[in-house]
C-alpha cells in the first residue's frame, strides 16, 4: 500500500485499486462499520489531523494570492505527451487525432513506471490552459488536467469528471487558442465566440472547423468568467456571442440566465434555437432530431 498525502492519492498494489485519499478513508471507515458521506469524511480527516498540510503558512499565502488576483496558478506538469489519440471512445465521438493534438486531449493510459497512480489514469483527459501576459506578449500556461470517466466504476469512485484542484469559475476553456491561434483569432474576429458547456462540445466544433469555440465547463456563468470574457474581448474584438448550451432543461434555463448576465455587461448574445428547422445535405429543412442533445452530438 502506498499513500501520498501531498499528492492526495493512494495505491493498493495487491488489489490494483487507487484513487483519492478521501475515498480511501471513506472505504476504510465503512469496513469498520462507520458509513459516512464525503463531507463527513472531510470533517473526520480534519479532526484526526489527516488533512493538515506540511507547510500551512505557505499554502495559505498561495491561496490568498490566487483569491486576490482571481487567477489560477500555473503548473509545470504537462501530460500531453502521454495522451493517446486513438482510443475507441474518441473515434466513436468523431474526434480526430488532429483535433486532440490541437486541444491537448486524449486517453491517459496507466504508466507502469510511475511511482504512484492517478485518478486521471484510464480516463479521457483534457488539458486546461490559461493565458498570461509578460514582456514578450501573451503566453499559454497549463492550469490543470481534467478527466472524463469511461466506466461506472470510475464514476462512482472519483466522479464523472476528476481534475487536480483549480477554480473553473475563473476560466474559459480553450481561451488560449482563441488568443494565440491565427485561424481561431480570425474566425473570432469575423463571426464572434461560440460559448458552450463542455470540453467535448468544443472538440466537436473544432473538428467541424469552428475554432472560435470555448466552454464554460458548466451551464452557468460566474462573475470571474464574465471578467475573463471582458479581458479576452479587450484583445480580440469579437462582434457577438452565440450561446450554444445543451438541449436539456438545465441547458435551456442556463442559457437564459447566462444571456441575461452577459447582456448586463455589454455583450451582444444570441441563444442557439434548438427548435429551428435545419436543412441537411440540401434536403427540405427539418427539425433538429431529438437524438441530438448538445453540440457534441
The predicted-structure confidence for 145-193, as pLDDT tens digits, reads as follows 999 999 999 999 999 999 999 999 999 999 999 999 999 999 999 999 9
Q: What confidence score (pLDDT) does residue 135 get?
A: 82
* All structural domains of the chain with their residue ranges: 2-52, 80-287
Tell me how far apart the alpha carbons of residues 91 and 83 are, in angstroms, rounded to a whole number. 14
Asked if 120 and 147 count as a contact pair (C-beta separation under 8 A), the reply is yes
Tell me how far apart the alpha carbons of residues 123 and 108 are, in angstroms, rounded to a whole number. 6
Query: What are the C-alpha distances in Å from 248 to residues 17, 83, 98, 162?
Result: 35, 31, 30, 23
Report residue 177 as a C-alpha cell: 487558442
Dihedral angle over CA of 147, 150, 156, 162, nearest 10: 0
Tell me how far apart the alpha carbons of residues 276 and 292 are, in angstroms, rounded to a whole number. 13
Indicate the pTM of the whole model: 0.77
Report residue 37 as a C-alpha cell: 458521506
The predicted-structure confidence for 215-271, as pLDDT tens digits, reads as follows 999 999 999 999 999 999 999 999 999 999 999 999 999 999 999 999 999 999 999
How are beta strands 241-243 and 193-196 bridged, if at all? parallel
The predicted-structure confidence for 97-138, as pLDDT tens digits, reads as follows 999 999 999 999 988 766 667 899 999 999 999 999 888 899
Higher pLDDT, 250 or 41: 250
Q: What confidence score (pLDDT) does residue 30 get?
A: 81
pLDDT band at 67 (very low <50, low <70, confident <90, very high): very low
pLDDT at 285 over 60: yes
The predicted-structure confidence for 24-37, as pLDDT tens digits, reads as follows 787 788 888 787 77
Mean of the per-residue pLDDT values of the chain: 87
CATH 3.40.1360.10 fits 80-287, yes or no: yes
Phi-psi region of 283 (alpha: psi -120 to 50; beta: other; left: phi over 0): beta
Amino acid at each position: 500500500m502506498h499513500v501520498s498525502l501531498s499528492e492526495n492519492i493512494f495505491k493498493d498494489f495487491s488489489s490494483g485499486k487507487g484513487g483519492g485519499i478521501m475515498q480511501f478513508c471513506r472505504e476504510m471507515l465503512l469496513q469498520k462499520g462507520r458509513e459516512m458521506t464525503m463531507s463527513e469524511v472531510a470533517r473526520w480527516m480534519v479532526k484526526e489531523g489527516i488533512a493538515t498540510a506540511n507547510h500551512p503558512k505557505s499554502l495559505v499565502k498561495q491561496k490568498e494570492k490566487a483569491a486576490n488576483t482571481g487567477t489560477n496558478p500555473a503548473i509545470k506538469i504537462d501530460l500531453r505527451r502521454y495522451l493517446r489519440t486513438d482510443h475507441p471512445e474518441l473515434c466513436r465521438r468523431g474526434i480526430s487525432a488532429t483535433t486532440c493534438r490541437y486541444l491537448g486531449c486524449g486517453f491517459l493510459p496507466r504508466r507502469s513506471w510511475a511511482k504512484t497512480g492517478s485518478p486521471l489514469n484510464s480516463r479521457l483527459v483534457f488539458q486546461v490552459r490559461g493565458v498570461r501576459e509578460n514582456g514578450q506578449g501573451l503566453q499559454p500556461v497549463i492550469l490543470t488536467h481534467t478527466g472524463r470517466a469511461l466506466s461506472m466504476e470510475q464514476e462512482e469512485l472519483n466522479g464523472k469528471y476528476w481534475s487536480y484542484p483549480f477554480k473553473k469559475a475563473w476560466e474559459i476553456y480553450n481561451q488560449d487558442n482563441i488568443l494565440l491561434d491565427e485561424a481561431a483569432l480570425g474566425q473570432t474576429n469575423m463571426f464572434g465566440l461560440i460559448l458552450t458547456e463542455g470540453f467535448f462540445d468544443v472538440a466537436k466544433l473544432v473538428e467541424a472547423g469552428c475554432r472560435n469555440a470555448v466552454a464554460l465547463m458548466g451551464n452557468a456563468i460566474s462573475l470571474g468568467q464574465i471578467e475573463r470574457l471582458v479581458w479576452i474581448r479587450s484583445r480580440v474584438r469579437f462582434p457577438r456571442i452565440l450561446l450554444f448550451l445543451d438541449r436539456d432543461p438545465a441547458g435551456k434555463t442556463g442559457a437564459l440566465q447566462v444571456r441575461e448576465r452577459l447582456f448586463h455587461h455589454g455583450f451582444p448574445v444570441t441563444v442557439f434555437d434548438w427548435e429551428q428547422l435545419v436543412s441537411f445535405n440540401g434536403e427540405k429543412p427539418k427539425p433538429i432530431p431529438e437524438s441530438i442533445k448538445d453540440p457534441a452530438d
